[in-house]
Copies of this chain bind each other. A is one copy, B any other.
């Protein structure tokens, strides 16, 4: 490695080390922190956000970058770089250009405002009190609009925000993907409404420790390495990758549905496998980072639904569940279990939604946040607009804001532009799933035999190991030979649910 590249690598590694601390803090807050620790946690987050931004935009960083690339023109100046190094330098330049557009005072204010808004949101949700959140949400939206202006955009201010999570994604592309998707999901939901499977046996008391044990064992079978992760419980399941070798997963146990724990564990396991598959020795370089949140979500959805809710997987795995819970499942045949966990049914809560209606929840949020960013919608109208759209897309609307527009953390925590990645994840995953089937014609037999490592290896080769080597849409096209569209996902759902 030449010394100029090494210098930039080291600076980047230092920045990413502090970013790994941000992720640890998030995990700690959600799982371990004593309640009163919130004030010091907010301070820690604010200080870290400001520090990281200062480091990313420092004179030292700029000078290191300028030895390798002309920041204005993008011309590579160092002839010794190999192809991966060139890509890294280009990505670092683009990251730098974005970072310098945001004033440090803005970054630190953003961290503070969103931490306070999130904290208020918890109480507002608990009390079902939208008015309590309103002024905080207004502040966040004002800052989001300011952020879009700082970052700049060609067509639409929302483009600037969604790019934070999904590079090169635009409102134009999203509309082109989501408009037909919305229609086909609506139609399919209506079609499925006739099949009302009995899933009552999923509701009841299933021993918590046994559920966690099953989950942990499955994670190892999926290919997660023992010393690389831990699994805890939290209100909302997540995977926080402090580092490829330090993955913090959570799942949830809900009396209201047994399958939630397993499903969340596989979902977060998919995220964790992605991070584990990123080359740890590239930590500090873009090649050592995930490609995008959408690609991340494709990995979790791949495992959670395309594999975990498939018949071949359950053929192999369901008998294990039955022997762990003979009283609850012993007399329920596989076919009933399969029908129950794949029940399509409009519901109020996104994170509980099935594969078909899930996308409608996401599109609803996308449309609303886009309107906020455009300045076309007022915060006070949120409950009304939310409920109208719910009625229109899902044929039902919530009686309380708690089950409506207060349900998600994303807006108070200033993650505008994040929601579409959930739907993109499904589109990517469907394309990957088709390609995996082509490469492994015997995949059903393997799943029936509880073999999962081949999937991990395939995803590692096609996705994980590349890090940010390619832009997300290019990565998926290279992996699947097809341009991004909603076709594969729609066909997958139609074939699964209209059989």
User: A residues engaging B (CB < 8 A)?
Assistant: 13-14, 17-18, 20-21, 24-25, 28, 32-37, 39-41, 43-44, 47-48, 51, 225-230, 242-243, 245-247, 283
Q: How far is the CA of A41 from the CA of B243 in the complex (A)?
A: 10
Q: How far is the CA of A14 from the CA of B49 in the complex (A)?
A: 12
| Chain B CB within 10 A, most for which of A17, A36, A48, A230 | A36
| Chain B CB within 10 A, most for which of A34, A51, A225, A283 | A34
**A-B interface, 9 closest residue pairs, ranked by CB to CB distance from nearest:** A37-B246, A35-B227, A40-B243, A36-B245, A36-B227, A17-B47, A17-B43, A36-B228, A34-B230
Which residues from chain B contact A48 at a C-beta distance below 8 Å? 21
Q: How far is the CB of A20 from chain B (nearest CB, A)?
A: 6
User: B33, B36, B245: which contacts A37 (Cβ < 8 A)?
Assistant: B245
**CB pairs A–B below 8 angstroms (24 shown):** A13-B43, A17-B40, A17-B43, A20-B44, A21-B25, A21-B44, A21-B48, A24-B24, A24-B25, A28-B28, A32-B32, A32-B230, A35-B227, A36-B225, A36-B227, A36-B228, A36-B246, A37-B243, A37-B246, A39-B243, A39-B245, A40-B242, A40-B245, A40-B246
Question: Known contacts A24-B28, A28-B28, A51-B51: does B43 contact A228 (CB below 8 Å)?
Answer: no
Which residues from chain B contact A13 at a C-beta distance below 8 Å? 43
Q: How far is the CA of A34 from the CA of B25 in the complex (A)?
A: 15
Which residues from chain B contact A243 at a C-beta distance below 8 Å? 37, 39-40
Which residues from chain B contact A228 at a C-beta distance below 8 Å? 34, 36
Q: How far is the CB of A155 from chain B (nearest CB, A)?
A: 39
Q: How far is the CA of A18 from the CA of B243 in the complex (A)?
A: 20
Question: Known contacts A39-B245, A246-B37: does B17 contact A44 (CB below 8 Å)?
Answer: yes
Which residues from chain B contact A37 at a C-beta distance below 8 Å? 242-243, 245-246
Determine if B47 and A14 form an interchain contact, defined as CB atoms under 8 angstroms apart.
Answer: yes
Determine if B17 and A246 form an interchain contact, defined as CB atoms under 8 angstroms apart.
Answer: no
Q: How far is the CA of A43 from the CA of B48 in the complex (A)?
A: 16
Which residues from chain B contact A229 at a C-beta distance below 8 Å? 34
Nearest-neighbor residue (CB-CB) of A246 within chain B: B37
Which residues from chain B contact A246 at a C-beta distance below 8 Å? 33-34, 36-37, 40-41
Which residues from chain B contact A32 at a C-beta distance below 8 Å? 32, 230
Q: How far is the CA of A18 from the CA of B39 in the complex (A)?
A: 14
Determine if A20 and B34 form an interchain contact, defined as CB atoms under 8 angstroms apart.
Answer: no
Q: How far is the CA of A230 from the CA of B29 in the complex (A)?
A: 13
Which residues from chain B contact A35 at a C-beta distance below 8 Å? 226-227
Nearest-neighbor residue (CB-CB) of A18 within chain B: B47
Which residues from chain B contact A51 at a C-beta distance below 8 Å? 51
Q: How far is the CB of A43 from chain B (nearest CB, A)?
A: 5
Q: How far is the CA of A35 from the CA of B228 in the complex (A)?
A: 7
